[in-house]
Structure formats: C-alpha cells, structure tokens
A and B are shown apart, each in its own frame.
Chain A
Amino acid sequence: MSDIADRVKKIVVEHLGVDEDKVVESASFIDDLGADSLDTVELVMAFEEEFGIEIPDDAAETIQTVGDAVNFIKGAV
C-alpha cells in the first residue's frame, strides 16, 4: 500500500510541481492541487505507465483525489 501511495505521490509532485506535504489522500487534483483538465489526463497516462495498467475513460473520470488514484491502482495491479 505505502509503496503505491508513495509512487503516486511522487508522480503528482513531479507533474504538478506542488509541495509534497500538500499531496495528501483527500487532496483533489483540480481543486486543491491546481491541475487543469489536461493535467488530469496526463496524470492518468503517467499512472498507466508507472503501474503497467489500463485506466479506462469512465474509471478515469471517477479519479478526483490522490486517494481515489491510490485506491483504483491498488485494485488494478
């Protein structure tokens, strides 16, 4: 679990250029971390690559927060 969460956090920090301590489970990519809609598409692409998974569009839409991403990826790997 912590491994996945750490890797997700690292990707989010790198991609959005935000402080690590802001990337908490409840943080919304758009509302709290300043992502635009294209950033969220790119984050999903980065997750797919990092974890070797496919995230279909309807699932991607439900991934709003850091915790959402970690939970989805835990179920998919």
Chain B
Amino acid sequence: MFDLTGKTALVTGASGGIGGAIAEALHGAGATVTLSGTREAPLRELAEKLGDRAHVVTANLGEAESLAALPKAATEAMGSLDILVNNAGITRDNLFMRMSDEEWAQVLDVNLSSVFKLSRSVLRGMMKARWGRIVNITSVVGATGNPGQGNYAAAKAGLVGMSKSLAYEVASRGITVNCVAPGFIATAMTDKLNDDQKGKILGQIPAGRMGSPEEIAAAVLYLSSPEAGYVTGATLHVNGGMAMI
C-alpha cells in the first residue's frame, strides 16, 4: 500500500524484535535500509535475509564517538537519509528509592539524549531535500508510568515533548516528527515471563493478547510514508486498548 521506493532509512535497534520488523516493513515497501545495533551477528543475518538495499552499521548509542559516526556512515552507505527510526532502547529497571545515578543516566542517555543527537545530525540533509521522516519509538509507560521504570518512563515521555517541539520547527520544510507508542509486544523479552505474569498483563489489555512486532512496524511504515505528510507531532498508540489516550 505504501511505496518507499527510492527512500533511504536508518533503523536503530534493528537487532531486536521490533526494530527488525520495522526494518523489514520499510524494506518491503521499497526503501533502502541501514540496520544499526550493538550486535553485528543478528544485523548481518537480517541484512542477508533482506538481500539488496540493506546495509549494516554497528553502533553503541551510549558512546559519543560511536553515536556521532552512525548517521555519517549510514548516509555514506545509502547516499542520503530520508527516514530515521529511533527504536533503540534499554531498560535498567529498579524501584525509585533504589535506583542509582548510573541506572538513571544510562537510560536517559541511550533512550533520550541519543535520539536528540541523531535527529539533530540528520536534519541538515532532510532540510535540503525538503522531505524527511523521523519516527521515535516510545512506550505506553511514557504516558501511564510504570513502577520500577522511573528512568524509562521519563525518557519515553521526554521523547514525546521533544518530538513535538522539533515537529513545530521543521513542519514547513516537509519534515514530520512522530512517535509510535507500543504497549505489550511479544518479543524475546516477553517470552521469558511465566504464565502468572503473562496472565496479569493480559488482564489489562482489552484486546486480550499481546501485540506483534509487525503491528508496530505497520504504524512506523505509515508514518514514514508520503501519505502521512500531514501527520506531525503525533503519537500513535498501538497497545490493544490498554491505554486509550
């Protein structure tokens, strides 16, 4: 339905379940993609599966040099950078009273500050092209809060405010900035939960099931498409109804 032929996209955290599905969806719509993540093996595996139009650039978004090199390497590999999907994220869960400065800082660095820096560095090319898409993957907990995730929820809520501010600044240049906020998505991480934990989670979801990475990817594909050109500063919640906001 959506055609991204000739467009170029960088997806961070592409070695994970959701990031991989996003990269596949954009690639399937015709985009050239750069897959980024910390682990090279799963990125290579995905790139091989995708075939042509897939590049791999490993990066650790917690390290300044690695972070600065990523957009340059991606732009060199693809010739341009039209779509940035900030999907990479980490968790360092802990009760607020027990949370260390380091746990706080690591999550804010990778989940929020790196998105600021990556977005800043890709804007120049997008402004010149008078076209660009930035899609930030946030989380339902950025809107609802979650015990044990004060750092993570702060970073994800921070992304929403940052995206809206940037959306204001660049809207007149054909660049949109939006968020996709997943609820509970079935990935390797949620596979580790036991039945009791899963039951409790499912009880909060009107749809009665977890979402799939492909359902997040479809939302990202839409926001990346030319058809979504009039949607900016928005957050698209994909959560089976667990928070209707």
Q: Which residues of A contact B (CB under 8 A)?
A: 38, 42, 45
Residues of B contacting A45 with CB < 8 Å?
124, 127-128
Residues of B contacting A38 with CB < 8 Å?
127, 169-170, 172-173
Q: Which residues of B contact A (CB under 8 A)?
A: 124, 127-128, 169-170, 172-173
Main DSSP-derived SS at the A contact region: helix
- Compute how far the CA of A32 lies from the CA of B38 in the bound complex, rounded to whole angstroms: 50
Minimal Cβ-Cβ distance residue in A for B173: A38
Residues of A contacting B124 with CB < 8 Å?
45
Minimal Cβ-Cβ distance residue in A for B128: A45
- Compute how far the CA of A42 lies from the CA of B170 in the bound complex, rounded to whole angstroms: 11
Residues of A contacting B127 with CB < 8 Å?
38, 42, 45
- Compute how far the CA of A37 lies from the CA of B40 in the bound complex, rounded to whole angstroms: 41
- Compute how far the CA of A38 lies from the CA of B171 in the bound complex, rounded to whole angstroms: 11
Residues of A contacting B172 with CB < 8 Å?
38
With A38-B169, A38-B170, A45-B124 given, name 6 new contacts (CB 8 A). A38-B127, A38-B172, A38-B173, A42-B127, A45-B127, A45-B128
Residues of A contacting B173 with CB < 8 Å?
38
A45 to chain B, nearest CB (A): 6
B178 to chain A, nearest CB (A): 19
